[in-house]
Amino acid sequence: MKNIDSKSHVRGESVYLDDVPLLEGTLFAGVYDSPVAHGKLKSVDVSRAAGAPGVVRVITATDLVGENQIGGILPDEPLLADDEVHFCGMPVALVLAETEEQARAAARLITAEIEPLEIVTDARAAQAKNELIAPPKRFKLGDTERAFEDCAHIFEGRADSGGQEHLYIETQGAYVVPGEHGGLKVYSSTQGPTAVQRAVSRVTGIPMNLVEVDVTRLGGGFGGKEDQANAWAALAAVGAQLAKRPVKFALHRMEDMRMTGKRHPYSSDYKIGLDKDLKIVAYEATYYQNAGAACDLSLPVLERTLFHATNAYFIPNVSAVAYSCKTNLPPNTAFRGFGGPQGMFVIESAIAHAAEKLGVAREEIQRRNLIESGDEFPYGQIAESEALAAWTQADARFDFAGLKREAEEFNRANKFVKKGFALMPLCFGISFTKTLMNQARALVHVYTDGSVAVSTAAVEMGQGVNTKIAQVAARVFSLPVDRVRVHSTNTLRIANTSPTAASAAADLNGKATEIACETILKRLKNVAAPLVEAESPDDVTLDNGFVRLGGESTNLDWLGLVNEAYSQRVSLSEHAHYATPGIGFDWSVAKGHAFAYHVYGAAAVGVTVDCRRGTYEIDYVRVCHDFGRSMNTAVDHGQIEGGIVQGIGWLTMEEVVYDADGRLRSNALSTYKVPDVYSVPKEIAIVALETDRENLAIFNSKAVGEPPLMYGIGAYFALRDAVRAFNPENFPRFDAPFTPEKILSNLYAEDLKKMRAAK
Ligand code: MTE
Ligand code: LUZ
Ligand code: MOS
């Protein structure tokens, strides 16, 4: 089945924030944001802006009716700077004007007197000054100190990974319309409608029951709108409240890149110990997360780094500690994988380090250490593992040894072009690690024409969640899917939503939809039973719009049944609640059953490096992926392809660069490179893991949103393999992204050293 949005997307009929029709009298907002990364805000001069053409009002922190605070986890993030600025791009003043151009032109007339304070942009430097968002977090299994004493081989090193710009096609934005009783209707491009509702309520002082948030769909979120849509909606809301007119605020691309946070860069230290059979016996890691200037989601991101510190491997002795370090950069935030990829990059680096120094194949160490069912994760959960199954099935299908041989033969025959090969196993936990967030609700109405309307907390952002939810309702009612319509995400229809995140939206909201539909179905069967002379409602089934009795057809169809129920005054609506059973985590001991289940997989990645230029191509990514039982292979394959390309981008070409003054240098698409159609892998092959294990996913169709991104880590190590095929003397630093510049300097590392020495 196709994605239900494909037709309206292609025709340009899908409604995004910018397609919401504007009311007469709508004002447009612009912001003046801090030009310096850290300083005391002595004064702000808005006089020239206030007198500029079209300007209706200029708003600073002192004008707010409610609290000047939008921090969701810690109250450390003012909406508008008051006494200090903490990062370049921090909003200082809001301008409301009759047109967008006027608002932005006026914002440029604002000046501020800022007394500079010391700027810290590096995570380790911040940690050294004890500038932490919160005390460090630790995971511990076994006893690493004792275990290291018996290791045959021990390796220590450092691994760094960079930030990543979300680059959702639709930038951040909101449109706020004032209504009766001082209420506000907020259209927002957010993954978290309730988070927006809460932030708006807090900064305006208007209670949540007067703030309605509506989300039609997103032109991409990728985590960037899990928390960071709040600021723009809150600013527009403050404007609408004070000016008593509708306010639209949508960021331009360069504003979005400058003012919003990204994937957290990490710098990490590792120590890995192996026995003589290449079993990893002990692993220690210290992570320095660059949080930026406020907490945002940094702490749960940091926690997920710990959860995925050992990726798909079983290591009996683990000790990991993670610091969330406060720097003068825009607060970093959720990004597909949510800290997991950063943790996995470190263990994969440690394994590469050991393999290269020992002269064994990396995949030899990987395979010998895959986690098995019954093994314990460092956080106490017992694995039900598909790691070896995914690896073995990928090998059977794609022939790892053959792929490796192919690369080696090519490399013997070619001096200036080298091929590289790497394998990447995957294990990603599904559930919000904050247990309370694993809940959802669905509202289902059946109308008297037989059509079905569904609302849930899920936000459609291109990942196809609405398609899956429509499939759930259609399957329970046994109707063609075009009789079901999934509507906008709205806080009046569905309250207290968890954000659409953690890859869990289809599971949580799909399950709630299933419960709501099953409840209505049960009522309908009770109505049908006497009509078709059934002894028990259990003998009644629905099949493609018709009622069947004990499998035999009857004269009663869906429409007749629905209308009969209505005339008997039986409810055709249901509001259902779902909470994932069996999960829980106790932070006081850092142990628990954190995840409903894990998603497994294994990818083989092949690359070709042009050793004169440092440029490269990704030849193939061949994956065996654990779908459970996919309920929509078109959507799921799309997620895997997109995730892989986004992961490869993070590790090979996307380089977020801030200068020492905390200013973003990679602030446009001319300086920030993302994969395009020419740089995607020439081949992406996906096979489904065959398994019949039951799980807690909706219809056993496992979550697929984030996990595939991490296959991209394989591309990094395949490139490293090719670089070392050309220059085996060199041991490149683990320093992602592996850009063509870094590849070139590693291909000729010794020559560069000589050249520098000669100078
Ligand atoms: N796919 C598209 N097309 N656009 C997106 O913004 N976000 C990803 C993933 N796939 C995203 C996407 C992220 S970060 C998550 S958490 C999941 O989708 C969320 O949706 P799900 O829970 O329905 O999988
Ligand atoms: N968001 C969140 C997430 O709040 N908690 C999580 O555990 C999570 N995991 C992945 C992506 N987003
Ligand atoms: Mo995804 S990082 O959970 O929005």
Residue-wise pLDDT for 199-244, tens only, equals 999 999 999 999 999 999 999 999 999 999 999 999 999 999 999 9
Structural contact between residues 193 and 489, judged by C-beta atoms closer than 8 angstroms: yes
Pair of tokens at residue 279? 């079993």
CA of 644 to the centre of ligand 1 (A): 13
CA distance linking residue 208 with residue 199, whole number of Å: 9
For ligand 1, whether the C-beta of 297 sits within 6 Å is no
CA of 606 to the centre of ligand 3 (A): 28
Ligand closest to the CA atom of residue 433: 2
pLDDT band at 1 (very low <50, low <70, confident <90, very high): confident
Pair of tokens at residue 438? 């694993």
Ligand 1, residues 167, 466, 503: which to mutate, most atoms within 8 A of Cβ?
503
Instruction: Give the pLDDT of residue 710.
Output: 98
Instruction: Give the pLDDT of residue 331.
Output: 98
- Give the number of the atom of ligand 3 that is nearest the alpha carbon of residue 225: 4
CA of 16 to the centre of ligand 3 (A): 20
Q: Which residues contact 288 (CB under 8 A, 6 or more apart)?
A: 123, 124, 127, 266, 267, 268, 323, 325
Ligand 2, residues 222, 338, 438, 598: which to mutate, most atoms within 8 A of Cβ?
338
**Smallest CA separation from ligand 1 atom 12, residue:** 463
User: How much is the average pLDDT of 577-602?
Assistant: 98
What DSSP string runs through 205-242? Answer: ---GGGEEEEE---S--TTTTTSTTHHHHHHHHHHHHH
Q: Where are the alpha helices (DSSP H) in 227-312?
A: 230-243, 253-259, 298-307
pLDDT band at 725 (very low <50, low <70, confident <90, very high): very high
Residue-wise pLDDT for 39-68, tens only, equals 999 999 999 999 999 999 999 999 999 999
For ligand 2, whether the C-beta of 283 sits within 6 Å is no
For ligand 1, whether the C-beta of 220 sits within 6 Å is yes
CA distance linking residue 674 with residue 680, whole number of Å: 10
CA of 308 to the centre of ligand 3 (A): 15
> Which range is least confidently modeled, 312-316, 421-425, 632-636, 752-756?
752-756
pLDDT band at 373 (very low <50, low <70, confident <90, very high): very high
Task: Report the candidate in 580, 607, 603, 390 with the shortest Cα–Cα distance to residue 503.
Answer: 580
CA distance linking residue 411 with residue 394, whole number of Å: 24
CA of 432 to the centre of ligand 2 (A): 5
For ligand 2, whether the C-beta of 225 sits within 6 Å is no
Residue-wise pLDDT for 253-281, tens only, equals 999 999 999 999 999 999 999 999 999 99
CA of 706 to the centre of ligand 1 (A): 7
CA distance linking residue 264 with residue 626, whole number of Å: 27
Task: Report the candidate in 207, 177, 264, 260 with the shortest Cα–Cα distance to residue 66.
Answer: 207
Position 171 pLDDT exceeds 90: yes
The whole model's pTM is what?
0.98
Task: Report the candidate in 40, 37, 36, 50 with the shortest Cα–Cα distance to residue 93.
Answer: 50
Q: Is 527 exposed, middle or buried (0-12, 13-18, 19+ CB in 10 A)?
A: buried
Position 288 pLDDT exceeds 90: yes
- Give the number of the atom of ligand 1 that is nearest the alpha carbon of residue 464: 23
CA of 464 to the centre of ligand 1 (A): 8
Ligand 3, residues 262, 338, 434: which to mutate, most atoms within 8 A of Cβ?
338
List Cα–Cα distances, 358 to 157, 277, 352, 412, in angstroms: 15, 12, 10, 22
Ligand 1, residues 165, 170, 222, 460: which to mutate, most atoms within 8 A of Cβ?
222
H/E stretch holding 127 = helix 123-128
Instruction: Give the pLDDT of residue 82.
Output: 96
For ligand 3, whether the C-beta of 191 sits within 6 Å is yes
H/E stretch holding 558 = helix 558-567
Position 759 pLDDT exceeds 90: no
Position 544 pLDDT exceeds 90: yes
Instruction: Give the pLDDT of residue 424.
Output: 98
For ligand 1, whether the C-beta of 709 sits within 6 Å is no
Please state, rounded to an integer, the average pLDDT across all residues of the chain: 98
CA of 198 to the centre of ligand 3 (A): 19
Ligand closest to the CA atom of residue 72: 2
Residue-wise pLDDT for 325-356, tens only, equals 999 999 999 999 999 999 999 999 999 999 99
Residue-wise pLDDT for 119-141, tens only, equals 999 999 999 999 999 999 999 99
Domains by residue range for the chain, with CATH: 24-118+166-259 (3.30.365.10), 266-432+590-752 (3.30.365.10), 439-579 (3.30.365.10)
For ligand 2, whether the C-beta of 338 sits within 6 Å is yes
Ligand closest to the CA atom of residue 297: 2
Pair of tokens at residue 545? 């719009």
**706 annotated active-site:** yes
Instruction: Give the pLDDT of residue 499.
Output: 98
User: How much is the average pLDDT of 539-562?
Assistant: 97
Query: Which one of 101, 356, 706, 750 is the catalytic residue?
Result: 706
Instruction: Give the pLDDT of residue 232.
Output: 98
Instruction: Give the pLDDT of residue 600.
Output: 98
Instruction: Give the pLDDT of residue 692.
Output: 85
Q: Where are the alpha helices (DSSP H) in 688-758?
A: 713-726, 740-747, 749-758
